[in-house]
Structure 1
């Protein structure tokens, strides 16, 4: 497939490497222009392109930027995108990092807000795994201990495509329902960045999520991460996230 990725940060660049490695044609773009990510794209065996070009001819578009950057995307970027093109939202909302968003603060699931901003349906995926885990913990299908990742959206065919890409990346993709239920994989929930093994355990974690408590737990985790500062490791983040729900 032809995959365009908006955002060349830890998640976007890692997905570019993963998808290129299994034969997908990947283009990579950011807000600063192709020259700023030329080396990242080369290392990922992807093509650095202008933001306006990353969606052209794409079968799948991955939006992997902070929530605060979503409204800054060109307003016409997705306007002419055919309906069959799958758009994946990997983002997460952190009000202490992003600009506060009233709709999300009032309870709208983050990816529903992203859908409104883009004017195109999205599938929420790859938001609930840390970049280090994404880069290093993928395993072939059928492997014991394979991490499961939630895939939420309103269009069944689109979710099937994304589940296939999750598998390409080395993880078990699990259809976890509609975009309206995607708050269950947002920060502050048991399924968020805890490296859950297997679909049964993942569905249990999603069922244990408490919507009203998630924002407070998200903020508590963020504060604990900041206290660790530059010494923080992937294992530290996993430990803190898991402890929120013990």
Structure 2
């Protein structure tokens, strides 16, 4: 769903979009039709090779399926979060020895991984986008080890409707992961208690809350690292 929202924002901004998934290009026909003439579908390897910039919007438990050879030399924006109840327990993440994006970077040895788009729900990612200079523009955190790749990601966020807040290297990307102050909740505002299905329906009816760059910085600075193994899905927070 994050991938679809990024694709919609990109197509609306005039970018060429190549979509892929694990089920085959034909399963993306409806989304491609909705996006219009600037979008097409391909296999993951084909999309990777065609792209100037890649957004990997997948569950963390599928990270090893990313085509490392095809992604070599690319900047890859990683949107994944670690949820043990979905992904299974990963000892290095539970112990805080790695962040989830550092794990993805270890798999994608020839790529530059940037943590982005991971701390906002799909509908709010789309609904809160604003043009550069808008007084109600929100910001999103980004983290990465390569300055040029991070700048590239920042330019993409700007085109898509967001300011970017640099929160450091991949080892610091835990500051935007689940259980942190900047994760999901600020962009939703007060959230009623509900189950997963009801939460997802509710987010589709909620326009979201503006979170400017200054507030993102403050929230990131106040983050305290909690055991990754305690992470819960947003609807359970």
Q: Which ranges in structure 1 are unaligned for 5 or more consecutive residues?
A: 1-9, 227-239, 241-246
**In 2: Cα distance, 1:213 partner to 1:99 partner:** 15
Q: Is the 8 Å Cα contact of residues 163 and 213 (structure 2) preserved in structure 1?
A: yes
Q: Which residue of 1 aligns with 2:76?
A: 87
* Equivalences for residues 93-172 of structure 1 within 5 A: 93-107=82-96, 108-119=98-109, 120-172=111-163
TM-score by length of 2: 0.82
**In 1: Cα distance, 2:40 partner to 2:23 partner:** 15
Please, which of 12, 21, 43 is the counterpart of residue 50 of structure 1?
43
Q: Which residue of 2 aligns with 1:78?
A: 68
Equivalent residue of 1:91, what SS?
coil
Cα offsets for 1:155-195 (capped at 9, x unmatched): 11111111111112211112221111100000110011122
Deviation at 1:145, TM superposition (A): 2.7
Equivalent residue of 1:93, what SS?
coil
Deviation at 1:80, TM superposition (A): 4.9
Cα offsets for 1:74-113 (capped at 9, x unmatched): xxx2225443x21110111111111222221121111001
Q: Which ranges in structure 2 are unaligned for 5 or more consecutive residues?
A: 188-209
Q: Is the 8 Å Cα contact of residues 72 and 108 (structure 2) preserved in structure 1?
A: no
Q: Is the 8 Å Cα contact of residues 188 and 215 (structure 1) preserved in structure 2?
A: no
**In 1: Cα distance, 2:29 partner to 2:58 partner:** 18
Q: Which residue of 1 aligns with 2:201?
A: none
Equivalent residue of 1:96, what SS?
helix
**In 1: Cα distance, 2:71 partner to 2:121 partner:** 29
Report how many residues are paired. 210
**In 2: Cα distance, 1:192 partner to 1:138 partner:** 17
Q: Is the 8 Å Cα contact of residues 60 and 87 (structure 2) preserved in structure 1?
A: yes
Q: Which residue of 1 aligns with 2:203?
A: none
TM-score by length of 1: 0.80
Q: Which residue of 1 aligns with 2:54?
A: 61
Q: Root-mean-square deviation (CA), in Å?
A: 1.8
Cα offsets for 1:7-66 (capped at 9, x unmatched): xxx110111111111121110001110011111122123101112211113211111000
Q: Is the 8 Å Cα contact of residues 71 and 108 (structure 2) preserved in structure 1?
A: no
Tell me which stretches of 4 or more aligned residues in structure 1 moved more than 6 Å: none
1:181 paired to 2:172: yes
**In 2: Cα distance, 1:138 partner to 1:211 partner:** 29
1:225 paired to 2:235: yes
Structure with bigger RCO (C-alpha 8 Å, 6+ apart): 2
1:18 paired to 2:9: yes
Deviation at 1:214, TM superposition (A): 6.3
